[in-house]
Amino acid sequence: MIGGRALVATVCALAVLATGPAAAVEAPPPPPPPAEPAEPRAAAVITGDVVLRGHGWGHGRGLGQYGARGWAVDWGWSSGRILAHYYGGTVPGSIADRRITVEMTASAGRAITVAQERGGLLTSADDPGGSRPRRSAVRVEPIGRWRWRVYDAPGCAGPWTPRPAELVQPVVTFKSAFRQGSDDHRDMLQLCQDGGTRWVRGELRAVDADGTSRAVNRLRMEAYLRGVVPRESPASWGDLGGGRGMQALRAQSVAARSYAAAERRSAWARTCDTTSCQVYGGAAVQPAGGGFARLEDPRTDRAIARTAGVVRIRDGAVARTEFSSSTGGWSAGGVFPPVEDLADATPSNPNHDWTARVPAASIEAAYGRGQLLGVKVVSRNGLGDWGGRALQVRVNLTGGTVLVTGDEFRSRFALKSNWFRVRR
């Protein structure tokens, strides 16, 4: 645990320096990164693994989830103070409980199947201007622009009976006949996918988007967050420190709400359900192998309710508040000023320090210029251990040299972050 008034004051001073209004005297620039060891003139071919040590997990921009937990549990910070620390230049604001559209990406380009296990499925695949019979399961299969083949079944598993006529609609809607806002999953819609069944709040849509079918969940923001926050920060964190961990869950709720409100992902959906946006699981899931798992949690539900409508505002607009698992000790900067993240370095954070081994053969295959002679970080951002995050990496091979960004090297070899050094 990190504590002490003097150290807290130091952290606060750093936060003000990084995020507050311009001071009368500018702070000196960070010291230049330490020089990398000189390479031998006649480098030997590397066999085996290249060993890397690193810090953090994710892009490091904005809030660090493990850091937020540390600030809340070990330092006693409120959610507002945590958010102000990571999102310099923003202030608290509020928005109404608007509707949001979320693309369910696993269904892209496929037939879209929706069920209502109590037989309460209403769909525009029936006569939109006439009767709306209740159904159990409907599948729409794309067969051309705005054209769908429609099937009916008693449930996700079929058997499927085709309707005689094709359907011509740009968007096919699905709704539950039962009470909206119910916490009983049997009142909700089911999105039937190859990996199992997912229960979601609100309505589902099958959209013909530029010739590709897309499944879109349309629901209210606060209901959507119930399926996001426990997927991004463990709900169990709320129990830590005698309940102080709830402040981290509240900070995550505000960050997730702000990020979603600021998103403009596509013409058919504001955001998506994967780490490309932020992870959304819906209300519950049943894998193909069986079993049932409730994804929402009472602790994250309380954190969302206690911060209802709260967002971070920058220049009069909702800020796109990115976040990641662990900053490694310094946030990466970018849209928000970089800040030192002392609370990230807790013994319970498995991502503050890490080691990775990359086979030399994998590096050779990736760049295709012969055998590997060396890997060297040639520029860094100047923040933290070893001079900070890798900005450029030079890969020396017998057939030539390749210069890549730290982000590209991290992505290609599945490293936890772009903050690393080469041990061998």
What is the per-residue pLDDT for 117?
A: 94
The dihedral sign for the CA sequence 106, 309, 232, 12:
positive
Please tell me the pTM assigned to this model. Answer: 0.87
160-181 per-position pLDDT tens digit: 999 999 999 999 999 999 998 9
Q: What percent of the chain has pLDDT over 70?
A: 89
Res. 25 pLDDT band, cuts 50 70 90: very low
Strands 49-54 and 420-422: antiparallel
What is the per-residue pLDDT for 290?
A: 83
How many Å apart are CA 186 and CA 17, to the nearest integer?
Answer: 52
DSSP 75-131: T---HHHHHHHHSTT-EEEE----EEEEE-GGGTTS-EEEE-TTS-EEETTS-TTS-
Contact status, residue 418 vs residue 354, Cβ threshold 8 Å: no
Tokens of 423: 């041990």
Q: Report the chain's mean pLDDT, rounded to a whole number.
A: 90
What is the per-residue pLDDT for 40?
A: 46
Res. 16 pLDDT band, cuts 50 70 90: very low
User: Domain locations in the chain?
Assistant: 5-88+348-422, 91-320
- Residue 389 pLDDT > 50: yes
266-318 per-position pLDDT tens digit: 999 999 999 999 999 999 999 888 889 999 999 999 999 999 999 999 999 99
Tokens of 322: 């990115």
How many Å apart are CA 291 and CA 308, to the nearest integer?
Answer: 32
Q: What would the 3-class secondary structure string for 314-370 be?
A: ECCEECCCCEECECCCECCCCCCCCCECHHHCCCCCCCCCEEEEEEHHHHHHHHCCC
37-48 per-position pLDDT tens digit: 444 445 799 999
Contacts of 234 (CB under 8 A, 6+ apart): none
